[in-house]
């Protein structure tokens, strides 16, 4: 028996999709707080670009260690219980930020990020198969796009909430040497927001546990070992290459969303903490285009090709544009009452448009024809989120060797691989291993 939702009518699938939508919003909110947290902690703790990248590394590296165990756990406890457990771990992570803020010990922040990443991995592994299986495979990208709007919409809101709750009392600190009193005050301002988030996630975990969310049908029991099952899953080239595509995609997505604030801080932009919102707005626009165009007017594969090509073009522009130029802002934003921002920051934000369709397109293409191996394949794809750990780290290393702007050159090979997967990689169905 393959992994499919227990037969339900379209009407009865509305409630499950609504519940999943809320969870995608929570995932997005917790994830894209990193875009504000990274430059904020860099300012308080006086971190180098590489040290700052460890904030993202510790969050995303958890995927490497917990994706397969998450799939194994979900097989034992079920998808709904897996979601509740994932949110419980996220609640614990939120509480860990309290001693980290009080002590201002950088490794404690990294530990809190690691635990948060672990909870998110479990939740991601549980909810993504729901979206793929609650309807026809050919329209899965459109459904994931709907969830992506909520996820990235939360990414628009999270930096604004972070700024309103935490940064409002600390204007004029950009480019200034902070006193210990200011540092203490800025660090302590993290406590109440993270406590509130932890309590909210805990209540939501209990609500999901008691919800009418239907369980996915049990997969056939496989007598082979977990290692053999992973090997069998990876013998499908479209899945194996899909994992790599997800890896490099998340690398560029996190670079575009979470380093833009740090780059803005280095350029002396006072509103650095909300820069992630610009990238997320572009991603929401991309998801809306995905819902409108896929599959009615354009295939998943074609959309993926266009996205990768746009990513290549924007990356080249980011590397060579003058950081003092503000032509785009003066033409578009300022006349509409917006702020004047350097073109290079807006081009990084525009990467959100290029990135939006990649996950919705790659995930169903990679899981196509996986059958009883779907949950393991899903876990391996989610494991590709580890790209969010290594992408910013390489960006930090390159930035330290040259400049923050040239650090973005790490994105170029990533987009080129995504283009390869869109054109050829997803079509490779013959098993690599017998």
List the domains of the chain with CATH numbers.
11-212+226-427 (1.20.1250.20)
pLDDT of 372: 76
Q: Using 50, 70 and 90 to split pLDDT, how confident is the model at 60?
A: confident
**Tokens found for residue 342:** 């350097």
**Contact indicator for 367, 239 with CB cutoff of 8 Å:** yes
* Residue 110 pLDDT grade (very low, low, confident, very high; cuts 50, 70, 90): very high
Query: Regarding predicted confidence, which is higher, 66 or 91?
Result: 91
pLDDT of residue 118: 93
Average pLDDT, the chain: 84
d(CA 278, CA 136): 33
Higher-confidence residue of 122 and 213: namely: 122
Asked whether the predicted pLDDT for residue 225 surpasses 90, the reply is no
Beta strand residue intervals within 17-139, DSSP E: none
Q: How confident is the model at residue 6 (pLDDT cuts 50, 70, 90)?
A: very low
What is d(CA 74, CA 90) in angstroms, rounded to the nearest whole number?
Answer: 17
User: Band of the pLDDT at 186, cuts 50, 70, 90?
Assistant: confident
Q: Given CA atoms 168, 174, 176, 180 in this order, what sign does their dihedral have?
A: positive
Nearest Cα to Cα of residue 71 among 377, 429, 396: 377
- Asked whether residue 134 carries a pLDDT value surpassing 60, the answer given is yes
* Under 8 Å between Cβ of 412 and 322: no
- pLDDT confidence tier of residue 139, bands split at 50, 70 and 90: low
Average pLDDT over every residue of 341-347 = 93
Say if pTM beats, i.e. exceeds, 0.95: no
Inform me whether the pLDDT recorded for 1 exceeds 70. Answer: no
- Is the predicted pLDDT of residue 3 greater than 80, yes or no? no
Q: For residue 154, is pLDDT > 70?
A: yes
Cβ-contact 126, 83 below 8 angstroms:
yes
In degrees to the nearest 10, what's the CA dihedral of 328, 332, 337, 340?
0
pLDDT category of residue 174 using cuts at 50, 70 and 90: low
Give the H or E element holding residue 161: helix 140-162
Confidence check: pLDDT of 156 > 80: yes
What is the distance of C-alpha 60 from the center of its chain? 9
422, 308 in Cβ contact below 8 A? yes
Total count of residues recorded for the chain: 434
Angle between helices 79-103 and 180-188 (to 10 degrees): 160
Q: Measuring CA to CA, which residue among 52, 51, 81, 82 is closest to residue 66? A: 82
CA dihedral 270→40→180→199, nearest 10 degrees, is: 130
pLDDT band at 216; cut points 50, 70, 90: low
* Cβ-based neighbours of 352, under 8 Å, separated by 6 or more: 152, 256, 257, 278, 279, 280, 281, 282, 283, 284, 285, 286
Within 8 A by CB and 6+ apart from 424, the residues are none
Q: Say what the pLDDT of residue 268 is.
A: 85
Q: How far apart are CA 373 and CA 369, in angstroms?
A: 9
Question: What is the C-alpha to C-alpha distance for residues 121 and 263, in angstroms, rounded to an integer?
Answer: 28
Confidence band of 21 (pLDDT split at 50, 70, 90): confident
């Amino acid at each position: 028996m393959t992994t499919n939702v227990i037969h339900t009518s379209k009407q009865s699938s509305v409630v499950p999709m609504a519940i999943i939508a809320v969870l995608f919003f929570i995932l997005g909110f917790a994830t894209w707080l990193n875009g504000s947290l990274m430059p904020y902690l860099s300012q308080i703790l006086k971190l180098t670009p590489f040290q700052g990248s460890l904030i993202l590394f510790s969050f995303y590296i958890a995927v490497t260690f917990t994706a397969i165990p998450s799939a194994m756990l979900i097989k034992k406890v079920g998808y709904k219980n897996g979601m509740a457990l994932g949110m419980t771990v996220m609640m614990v992570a939120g509480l860990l930020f309290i001693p980290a803020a009080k002590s201002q010990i950088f490794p404690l922040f990294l530990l809190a990020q690691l635990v948060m990443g672990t909870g998110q991995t479990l939740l991601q592994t549980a909810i993504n198969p729901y979206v793929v299986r609650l309807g026809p495979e050919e329209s899965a990208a459109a459904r994931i796009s709907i969830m992506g709007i909520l996820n990235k919409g939360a990414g628009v809101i999270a930096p604004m909430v972070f700024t309103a709750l935490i940064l409002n009392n600390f204007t004029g600190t950009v480019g200034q040497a902070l006193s210990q009193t200011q540092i203490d005050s800025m660090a302590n301002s993290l406590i109440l927001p993270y406590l509130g988030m932890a309590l909210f996630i805990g209540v939501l975990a209990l609500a999901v546990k008691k919800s009418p969310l239907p369980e996915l049908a049990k997969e056939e029991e496989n007598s082979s070992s977990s290692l053999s099952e992973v090997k069998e899953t990876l013998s499908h080239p479209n899945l194996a290459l899909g994992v790599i595509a997800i890896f490099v995609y998340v690398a560029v997505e996190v670079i575009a969303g979470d380093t833009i604030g740090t780059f803005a801080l280095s350029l002396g932009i006072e509103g650095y903490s909300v820069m992630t919102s610009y990238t997320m707005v572009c991603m929401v626009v991309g998801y809306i285009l995905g819902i409108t165009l896929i599959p009615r007017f354009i295939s998943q594969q074609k959309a993926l090709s266009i996205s990768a090509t746009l990513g290549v073009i924007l990356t080249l522009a980011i590397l060579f544009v003058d950081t003092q130029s503000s032509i785009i802002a003066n033409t578009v934003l300022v006349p509409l009452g917006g702020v004047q921002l350097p073109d290079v920051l807006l081009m990084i934000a525009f990467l959100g448009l290029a990135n939006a369709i990649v996950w919705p397109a790659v995930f169903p293409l990679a899981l196509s024809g996986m059958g009883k191996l779907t949950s393991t394949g899903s876990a391996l794809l989610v494991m590709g989120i580890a790209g969010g750990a290594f992408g910013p780290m390489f960006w930090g290393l390159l930035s330290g060797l040259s400049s923050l702007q040239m650090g973005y050159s790490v994105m170029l090979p990533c987009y080129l691989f995504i283009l390869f997967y869109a054109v050829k990689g997803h079509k490779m169905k013959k098993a690599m291993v017998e």
